Amino acid sequence: MKIITIGREFGSGGRELGKRLADILNCEYYDREIITAISESQGLNEEFVESVLENGAYHNFPITYSHSFGAVTIMQHPHTSVFIEQRKVIEKIAQQGKDCVIVGRNADIILKNYKPFNIFVCAEEKWKVKRCIERASADEQLSEKQIIKNMRRIDKNRAMLRSFITDSKWGDPKAYDLTVNSSGWEIKKLCPIIAEFIKYSLDNKTAE
Amino acid sequence: MKIITIGREFGSGGRELGKRLADILNCEYYDREIITAISESQGLNEEFVESVLENGAYHNFPITYSHSFGAVTIMQHPHTSVFIEQRKVIEKIAQQGKDCVIVGRNADIILKNYKPFNIFVCAEEKWKVKRCIERASADEQLSEKQIIKNMRRIDKNRAMLRSFITDSKWGDPKAYDLTVNSSGWEIKKLCPIIAEFIKYSLDNKTAE
């Protein structure tokens, strides 16, 4: 069984990469299903769950903190239950034993015992802005300034959420098998060679 | 013409990767030749040139600083001439118009107008230590503690030297096309798929 996790900077095309990799590698892709499972088990609205997960560290920030007791980090957060449930859902996915791709959600850390293949996708800001403008629908056109502001806020939040559960820094290439700069790439064209890299790695990497 | 540059953490196997990539891709590999060219033009001993380049920012540190006048960064260093000559040698290599691999030396920045394919190789510390121990000759056996100390000093120096000529941080994945974590890999086995990635990128990347 192989699990592929994809961390990504906002606007780098990581989600599209994940979907396309799942297609090429013929494995499950988990994204919206995770939100649905959390909202069902917690009796919460899906949009609310999504908002907590994406903006978690910023909602009610003054009462967000992490505290360490020896090796155990306990996250105190007004919506801690949402994050705990997310972890359970991700663990359940892995337990099913199917090959799968999971984008974001610190799945690389949560599932580290399964030795996933971990990818991080980054890009220069101008390329991320370009991608955001291209994929925006007619009713969500933002100025470049607003896009950059959102992008930085979301990525800062992702880095902060990661810091609650691990010492490994969000985006630090030593925490991933492969870090790809998607600047200048069409994700559709980038995918096949990443899929090749993953397959090659599974067959040829000497040790974990 | 394609130029491939390889930045690397000490002990990550970047130099071996560079040599092997040059073989696979059938192109020139520049390493020792750069030292020789600098020492000849400057009338300096090769070992001295090598030591300045590898330890530059630490030799006589108190008089090492960088200063910005607008967009131009001027490096003031007791051995500035060695670095200036290195830049010239690297530019000459590129001007020859042959496909080549250059390891280290901030060649990605010096040759950015040639749009090189830039790789960075990193690895977890335990793997880098393992590699250093394996490749050490009988008369240069160091303790693990000494290896880690050297490793950190050399990498800190590389980061510092880079900061003299660019705002792009040493090892920041956005500054490279591909960042590979060599932990657990035999470099010999890792090379072919990286060579594939480079070739694929030259044929399929949409824009620079």
What pLDDT is attached to residue A73? 46
Cβ <8 Å between A183 and B204: no
ipTM of the assembly? 0.87
Angle between helices B32-42 and B46-55 (to 10 degrees): 110
Phi, psi of B168 (to 5 degrees): -70, 125
A206, part of any domain: no
The answer to whether residue A65 scores a pLDDT higher than 50 is no
| Average of per-residue pLDDT values in chain B | 87
Nearest CA in chain A to B177: A181
A207, part of any domain: no
Cβ-proximal residues to B136 (8 Å cutoff; 6+ apart), any chain: B142
Helix/strand/coil percentages in chain B, nearest 5? 55, 15, 30
Cβ <8 Å between A173 and B186: no
The pLDDT-based confidence of A142 (bands split at 50, 70, 90) is: confident
Dump pLDDT digits (tens) for B165-174: 898 899 999 9
For the domain that residue A57 is a member of, what is the CATH number? 3.40.50.300
What pLDDT is attached to residue A12? 97
pTM for the model: 0.88
Tokens of A85: 């449930």
B166, part of any domain: yes
Nearest CA in chain A to B176: A181
Mean pLDDT of A22-29: 96
Dump pLDDT digits (tens) for A100-139: 999 999 999 999 999 999 999 999 999 999 999 988 877 7
B30, part of any domain: yes
Contact with chain A for residue B168, Cβ under 8 A? no
Q: Quote the domain boundaries for residue A167.
A: 3-200
C-alpha distances in Å from residue A155, one per residue of A10, A125, B89, B190: 6, 12, 40, 31
H, E, C per residue of chain A: CCEEEEEECCCCCHHHHHHHHHHHCCCEEECHHHHHHHHHHHCCCHHHHHHHHHHCCCCCHHHCEEEEECCEEEEECCCHHHHHHHHHHHHHHHHCCCCEEEECCCHHHHCHHHCCEEEEEECCHHHHHHHHHHHCCHHHCCCHHHHHHHHHHHHHHHHHHHHHHCCCCCCCHHHCCEEEECCCCCHHHHHHHHHHHHHHHHHHCCCC
Place of tokens 């590898």: B54
Q: How far apart are CA B31 and CA B23, in angstroms?
A: 14
Number of domains present in the structure of chain A: 1
Neighbours of A63 (CB within 10 A): 9
B205, part of any domain: no
Q: What is the dihedral of CA A163, A202, B183, B24, to 10 degrees?
A: -130
What pLDDT is attached to residue B135? 85
Tokens of A98: 């199917």
Cβ <8 Å between B193 and A197: yes
Within 8 A of B205 by CB-CB distance, chain A residues are 184-185, 189
Q: Is the Cβ–Cβ distance between B187 and B128 less than 8 Å?
A: no
Ranking A51-60, A139-148, B192-201 by mean pLDDT, the lowest is A51-60
Dump pLDDT digits (tens) for B32-87: 889 999 999 988 889 888 888 887 655 543 333 344 444 444 455 557 888 899 99
Q: How far apart are CA A167 and CA B51, in angstroms?
A: 35
B203, part of any domain: no
The pLDDT-based confidence of A140 (bands split at 50, 70, 90) is: confident
Q: How far apart are CA B161 and CA B75, in angstroms?
A: 9
Cβ <8 Å between A173 and B204: no
Cβ <8 Å between B184 and A208: yes
In 3D, which of A126, A127, A133 has the Cα closest to residue A186?
A: A127
- Rounded (5°) CA angle B69-B163-B135: 155
A104, part of any domain: yes
Mean pLDDT of A152-165: 90
The answer to whether residue A66 scores a pLDDT higher than 70 is no
The answer to whether residue A208 scores a pLDDT higher than 70 is no
% of chain A exceeding 90 in pLDDT: 66
Ranking A172-176, B6-10, B79-83 by mean pLDDT, the lowest is B79-83
A145, part of any domain: yes
Mean pLDDT of B84-98: 93
Nearest CA in chain A to B198: A193
Q: Is the Cβ–Cβ distance between A18 and A101 less than 8 Å?
A: yes
The answer to whether residue A68 scores a pLDDT higher than 50 is no
SS3 B180: strand
What pLDDT is attached to residue A121? 98
Distance between B175 CA and the closest CA of chain A, angstroms: 8
